[in-house]
Structure 1
Amino acid sequence: MRILSRNDLFAIIERSDSSTFNEKLQFMEHELLNQYTENDHNIPDIKHKLSQIKHQFKQKWSAARNTKARFLDNNVEWLKGCISLPKAGISPGRPQKTFLELSERSKRRKTEELRSLNTDELTFATQMKLRETGKLEASKVVKDLTKSPRRAKKYITALKKNTVTCEDDQEKLNNLTHLRALFMYTEAGLTQAQYEIVRETNPSYYPCYSILQKCKKECYPEIHRVTETCGEVRVQNLMDHTAQRLILYLGDAMEQLSEIDKQSLVLISKWGCDGSQQMQYKMKFENEADSDANIFQSSMVPLQLVYGPGRKILWQNPTPSSPRYCRPIRIRFAKESTDVTNEEIEYIKSQIKELTESEVNGFSIKHKLLFTMVDGKVCNAATNTRSTMKCYICGLSSTQFNDLDKVMPNKEGTLEFGLSLLHARIRFFESILHVAYRLPVKKWRKRLTAEEKQLIENRKKEIQNKFREQLGLLVDIPKANFGNTNDGNTSRRFFENFEVSAEITGIDLNLIYRLKVILDTMCSGFRINVEAFEMYCQKTAELYVNLYEFYPMTPTLHKVLRHGSQVVAEAILPIGHFPKKREAAEARNKHIRMFRLNYTRKFSRVACNVDVLNRLLLTSDPVLTGMRTRKNKNKHPLSADVLNLLLESDIANVSFEENDQ
Structure 2
Amino acid sequence: MDCAQPGSSGMRVMTRNDLFNIMERSNTSTFDEKLQCMERELLNQYAENDPNIADVKQKLSIIRHQFKQKWLAARKTKARFLENNAEWLKGCISLPKAGESPGRPQKSFLELSERSKRRKTKELRSSDTDELTYATQMKLRETGKVDASKIVKDLTKSPRRARKYAVAMKKSTCEEDQEKSKRLAHSRALFMFVEAGLTQTQYEVVRETNPSFYPCYSILQKLKKECYPEIHRVTETCAEVQVQNLMDHTAQRLILHLGEAVEQLSEAEKQSLVLISKWGCDGSQQMQYKMKFENEADSDANIFQSSMVPLQLIYGPEKKILWQNPTPSSPRYCRPMRIRFIKETTDVTNEEIDYIKSQITALTKSEVNSFSIKHKMLFTMIDGKVCNAATHTKSTMRCYICGATSLQFNDLEKERPCKKENLEFGLSLLHARIRFFESILHVAYRLPVRKWNVRLTAEEKQAVENKKKEIQDKFREKLGLLVDIPKANFGNTNDGNTSRRFFENFEVSATITGIDVNLIYRLKVILDTLCCGLKINCEMFERYCQETAKLYVSLYKFYPMSPTLHKVLRHGASVVREAILPIGQLSEEAAEARNKHIRTFRLNYARKFSRIACNADVFNRLLLTSDPVLTGMRKRKNKKNVSLSADVLNLLLESDVLNLSFDEDDNNEE
With normalisation by structure 1, the TM-score equals 0.73
Alignment partner of 1:265 is 2:270:
no
In 2: Cα distance, 1:287 partner to 1:479 partner: 31
Q: Report Cα offsets for 1:372-401 as digits up to 9, x if no partner.
A: 010011111101111111111111111110
**Corresponding position of 2:245:** 237
Between stretches 449-458 and 314-323, larger displacement belongs to: 449-458
Which is worse superposed, 538-547 or 446-455? Answer: 446-455
Shift of 1:553: 0.3
CA 590–471 in structure 1, closer or farther in 2 if over 3 Å, else same: closer
> 299, 308, 314: which one pairs with 1:300?
308
Q: For residues 257 and 222 of structure 1, do their structure 2 counterparts lie closer, same or farther at Cα, with a shift above 3 Å needed? A: same
Shift of 1:407: 2.5
Q: Where does residue 658 of structure 2 map in the other structure? A: 652
- Which residue is 2:155 aligned to? none
TM-superposed CA distance for 1:534, in Å, is: 0.5
The C-alpha deviation readout for 1:281-305, integer Å capped at 9, x for no partner, is 2222222222222111101010111
Whether 2:435 is the aligned partner of 1:427: answer yes
CA deviation string 1:258-309 (max 9, x = no partner)? 1111111111100000111222222222222222221111010101111111
Read off the aligned partner of 1:532 and give its amino acid letter.
M
Question: Percent of counterpart pairs with the same letter?
Answer: 81
- What amino acid is aligned across from residue 617 of structure 1 in structure 2? L
Q: 1:637 aligns with which of 635, 640, 643?
A: 643
1:412 Cα deviation from its structure 2 partner: 4.5
Residue 201 of structure 1, aligned match among 199, 205, 209? 209
Task: Give, in angstroms, the shift of residue 160 of structure 1.
Answer: 11
Q: Deviations over 1:190-238 (max 9, x none)?
A: 2222222222222211111111111111001011111121111000000
Match of 1:416 among 424, 427, 452: 424
Q: CA 1:373–1:165 in 2, change beyond 3 Å: closer, same or farther?
A: farther
8 Å CA contact 1:638–1:655 kept in 2: the answer is no
Unpaired segments ≥5 residues, structure 2: 1-166, 665-670
> What is the DSSP-based 3-state SS (H/G/I as helix, E as strand, rest coil) of the residue aligned with 2:658?
coil
Give the letter aligned to residue 644 of structure 1: N
Go from structure 1 to structure 2 and tell me whether the alpha carbon gap of 1:439 and 1:268 turns closer, same or farther (over 3 Å shift).
same
Distance in 2 between residues matched to 1:468 and 1:283, nearest whole Å: 40
C-alpha offsets along residues 469-515 of structure 1, whole Å, 9 cap, x if unaligned? 33232222222333222222222122122222222222112211111
280 and 480 in structure 1: CA distance in 2 versus 1, 3 angstrom threshold: closer
Question: Is 2:633 aligned against 1:627?
Answer: yes
Alignment check: 8 A CA contact 2:285 2:490 kept: no
Q: Choose which of 315, 318, 322 in structure 2 pairs with 1:314.
A: 322
Q: Which amino acid aligns with 2:259?
A: G
Structure 1 residue matching 2:484: 3-state secondary structure: coil
Closer/same/farther in 2, CA of residues 444 and 161 from structure 1, 3 Å limit: farther
Question: Which of 355, 368, 372 is equivalent to 1:364?
Answer: 372
Counterparts in 2 of 1:166 and 1:570: CA distance versus 1, 3 Å: farther
Matched residues in 1 for 2:272 and 2:497: separation?
41
Aligned-partner residue type, residue 450 of structure 1: A
Q: Does 1:461 align with 2:486?
A: no
Contact 1:517 1:642 in 2 (8 A): yes
1:557 deviates by 0.3
Structure 1 residue 653 displacement after superposition? 4.7
Q: Alignment partner of 1:267: what SS?
A: strand
Residue in 2 aligned with 1:496?
Answer: 504
The 1:160–1:268 alpha-carbon spacing in structure 2 relative to 1, beyond 3 Å, is farther
- 2:616 aligned with 1:597, yes or no? no
Q: 1:555 to 1:607 in 2, by over 3 A?
A: same
Following superposition, the deviation at residue 165 of structure 1 comes to 9.8
1:177 to 175, 180, 185: 185
Aligned equivalent of 1:573: 581
- Give the Cα separation in 1 of the matches to 2:173 and 2:475: 64
Partner SS state of residue 456, structure 2: coil
CA contact (8 A) 1:276 1:295 kept: yes
| AA matched with 2:187 | L
Offset of residue 340 of structure 1? 0.6
CA distance in 1, matches of 2:288, 2:225: 29
Q: Which structure 1 segments of 5+ residues have no match? A: 1-158
- Using a 3 Å threshold, how does the CA distance of structure 1 residues 483 and 333 change in structure 2: closer, same or farther? closer
> Aligned to 1:651, what secondary structure does the other structure show?
helix
* Matched-pair contact (CA < 8 Å) for 1:426–1:488: yes
CA 1:283 to 1:505, structure 2 compared with 1: closer, same or farther past 3 Å?
closer
* 2:480 counterpart of 1:477: no
Q: Deviation of residue 615 (structure 1)?
A: 1.1
- Are positions 1:612 and 2:618 aligned together? yes
Q: CA deviation at 1:173?
A: 3.2
Contact 2:506/2:517 (8 A) holds in 1: yes
CA distance in 2, matches of 1:163, 1:375: 65
Q: Which amino acid aligns with 1:410?
A: C
Q: Secondary structure at the match of 1:638?
A: coil
Aligned residues of 1:530 and 1:569 also touching (Cα < 8 A):
yes
State the secondary structure of the residue aligned to 2:329.
coil
Q: Which segments of structure 1 move beyond 4 Å, counting only runs of 4 or more?
A: 159-169
Aligned to 1:508: 516
1:318-350 superposed Cα distances (whole Å, 9 cap, x missing partner)? 111111111010111111101110000000000
Structure 1: distance between partners of 2:366 and 2:196 = 32
Provide the residue aligned with 1:47 in structure 2.
none
- Residues in 2 aligned to 1:394 and 1:485: alpha-carbon distance in whole angstroms: 31
> C-alpha distance in 2, partners of 1:409/1:211?
60
Whichever residue aligns with residue 622 of structure 2, its letter is L
Structure 2 match to 1:397: 405
Residue 163 of structure 1 and its aligned partner are, at CA, apart by 7.8
Deviations 1:426-461 (A, max 9, x none): 111111111111111110023111211122122222
Measure the CA separation in 1 of the matches of 2:452 and 2:173: 79
Offset of 1:162 from its aligned partner?
A: 12
SS at match of 2:380: strand
Instruction: Give per-residue Cα distances to partners, 1:539-580, cap 9 Å, x unaligned.
Output: 11111111111000000100000000011001111111011x
* Residue 549 (str. 1) matches residue 557 (str. 2): yes
Write the distance in 1 (CA, Å) between the matches of 2:516 and 2:658.
32
Read off the aligned partner of 2:233 and give its amino acid letter.
R
Q: Is the partner of 1:302 in helix, strand or coil?
A: strand
The letter for the 1-side match of 2:212 is S
Does 1:530 pair with 2:530?
no
* Other-structure match for 2:135: none
1:345 aligns with 2:353: yes
Deviations 1:614-651 (A, max 9, x none): 11111110001111122221133211111111111111
Aligned partner of residue 341 in structure 1, secondary structure: helix
Aligned partner of residue 336 in structure 1, secondary structure: coil
Give the Cα separation in 2 of the matches to 1:373 and 1:456: 36
Quick one: which of 373, 376, 394 aligns to 1:386?
394
Contact 1:266 1:307 in 2 (8 A): yes
> C-alpha distance in 2, partners of 1:166/1:252?
31
The residue type equivalent to 1:395 in the other structure is G
State which structure, 1 or 2, has the greater radius of gyration over its C-alpha atoms. 2
**Quick one: which amino acid aligns to residue 488 of structure 1?**
G
Maintained 8 Å contact 1:637/1:655: no
Alpha-carbon separation, structure 2, partners of 1:186 and 1:396: 47
Aligned position for 2:668: none
Deviations 1:30-65, CA, capped at 9 Å, x for gaps: xxxxxxxxxxxxxxxxxxxxxxxxxxxxxxxxxxxx
Look up the SS of the partner of 1:499 in the other structure.
helix
Q: CA RMSD in A?
A: 2.1
One-letter code aligned to 1:170: Q
Amino acid at match of 2:388: N
Change (3 A) 1:173 1:511: same
Residue 233 of structure 2, aligned match among 207, 210, 225: 225
Q: CA contact under 8 A between 1:265 and 1:365: conserved in structure 2? A: yes
Instruction: Measure how far apart 1:168 and its partner are.
Output: 6.4
